Amino acid sequence: MKYTRIPHTDIRISKICLGTMTWGRQNNEDEAHEQMDYALDQGVNFFDTAELYPVPAKKELYAVTEELIGNWFKKTGNRDKVVLASKIAGPGHAAKHIRSTGFSKESIINAVDGSLKRLQTDYIDLFQLHWPERNTNYFGQRGFNAHAVDVWDDNIHQVLETLRDLIAEGKIRHVGLSNETPWGTMRFLEESKVHQSLPRMRTIQNPYSLLNRLFEVGLSEISMREQIGLLAYSPLGFGVLSGKYLTEIPPRKARVTLFPNYNRYSGDTAVAATKKYAELAKEHGLSLAQMALAFVNTRPFLTSNIIGATSMEQLKENIESIDVDLSDEVLEGIEEIHKAIPNPAP
């Protein structure tokens, strides 16, 4: 395994992060525990979860994923071997069964206390804001809609104050963003620069893959100049970059098959790009999945690459990507495809 550090901290984390979004829906508890056992044995010490998980979110499955992780901590005693990240859900339709009060002081405290209880731990190493409260472009929206109704009042100072107090109490160690824009990222960073008692955002968890490299447009410069590390999610584009959906008959238990509305990476242009990437990988004796993950691993702004799997075979292949070195020829081939079909699945 290769390791990095959460920026501006001494916390050493694996460059491969174990994602948990399917546990409790596509994976049962035994399978989740098997994944954690194997990942830890392979040197993966960084796990990411959220109160929203499993996804697609359902009221009756609220925060089941955190409960499965907490049961594993209790069973194995491995809490001290894991750097643990979780998230508070932002407001909106996907989280209406959780709360409708956004990132108010009470909401953040409630979310942290709930996660701690379910995870059966006294602290969370990295606590993230799952998506912004304000109206902005994330989850596949290409551009900012200046005419959208937005009742958000700038409460970033208050959010950071609440997080500061939770850090002081020892309930969380560090904080991060997710699904955030360049404006939002800089707004949080500047607030903590001007008011130095407020905590600094350490990481940003955004999508990044061969099919969606929009992080490079504005956020990569912020990430590198400000040292706020990318935790890349969906590096395989909901499994599309494994190539398994290129067959005439899609795999029966796969995510996009089970949940057809998860089609962000499955449009015609994305499929065309995926076919080209698959041909490039085959030409160089690589699996498409490992080439796609290894590409993400090479990025200078990456802190950790969040992989997810529903089978042990997938998990092993994904973790082994850390040992795949891409030749200059492969990297040049990737750039050629990207120039021809840029960001087909934003």
Per-residue pLDDT tens over the stretch 311-326: 999 999 999 999 999 9
H-type alpha helices, 231-287: 255-258, 268-283
Please state the rounded mean pLDDT for residues 153-182: 97
- Residue 313 confidence (pLDDT): 96
What are phi and psi for residue 32, nearest 5 degrees? -60, -45
DSSP classification of residue 197: T
pLDDT above 80 (res 148): no
Category of 22 on φ-ψ map: left (φ > 0), alpha (ψ -120 to 50) or beta: alpha
- Per-residue pLDDT reduced to its tens digit, 28-38: 999 999 999 99
Query: What residue type is assigned to position 345 of the chain?
Result: A
User: Which range among 149-163, 190-204, 319-333 shows the weakest confidence by mean pLDDT?
Assistant: 149-163
Question: Residue 119 corresponds to which tokens in the numbers above?
Answer: 């995870």
Report, as an integer, the average pLDDT of 145-150.
74
- The answer on pLDDT for 196 being more than 90 is yes
Residue with tokens 């809490």: 79
Spatial CB neighbours of 26, under 8 Å, sequence gap ≥ 6 = 54, 253, 255, 258, 310
List the one residue out of 160, 52, 165, 174 whose CA is nearest residue 111. Answer: 52
Q: Give yes or no for a cis peptide into 54 (omega within 30° of 0).
A: yes
- Buried b / exposed e along 81-112 (16+ C-beta atoms within 10 A): ebbbbbbbbbbeebbeebbeebbbeebbbbbb
pLDDT (0 to 100) of residue 248: 64
Q: What is the mean pLDDT of residues 20-43?
A: 98
d(CA 307, CA 44) in angstroms, rounded, equals: 11
Closest CA to 40 of 96, 83, 74: 83
Bridge partners for 129 per DSSP: 88, 177
> Can you give the pLDDT at residue 135?
85
Which is more confident, 202 or 149? 202
Using omega within 30 degrees of 0 as the cis cutoff, is the peptide bond preceding 182 cis? no
| Backbone angles phi and psi of 75, in degrees to 5 | -70, -40
pLDDT digits (tens, 9 = 90+) for 101-129: 999 999 999 999 999 999 999 999 999 99
CB 243 within 8 A of CB 249: no
Per-residue model confidence (pLDDT) at position 6: 98
Task: List, as one string, the DSSP characters of 103-140.
Answer: T-HHHHHHHHHHHHHHHT-S-EEEEEE-S-SSS---TT
Can you tell me the mean pLDDT for 59-64? 96
Report which of residues 153 and 306 the model is more confident about. 306
pLDDT at position 70 over 70: yes
Say how far apart CA 344 and CA 210 lie, in whole Å. 9
Q: Global pTM?
A: 0.95
Taking a C-beta distance cutoff of 8 angstroms, is the pair 342, 273 a contact?
A: no
Contact (Cβ atoms closer than 8 angstroms) between residue 3 and residue 13: yes
Give the number of other CB atoms < 10 A from CB of residue 307: 26
Q: Which residues are catalytic?
A: 53
How confident is the prediction for the chain on average, in pLDDT?
95
What's the pLDDT band for 69 if we cut at 50, 70, 90?
A: very high
What residues form DSSP beta bridges with 328?
A: none
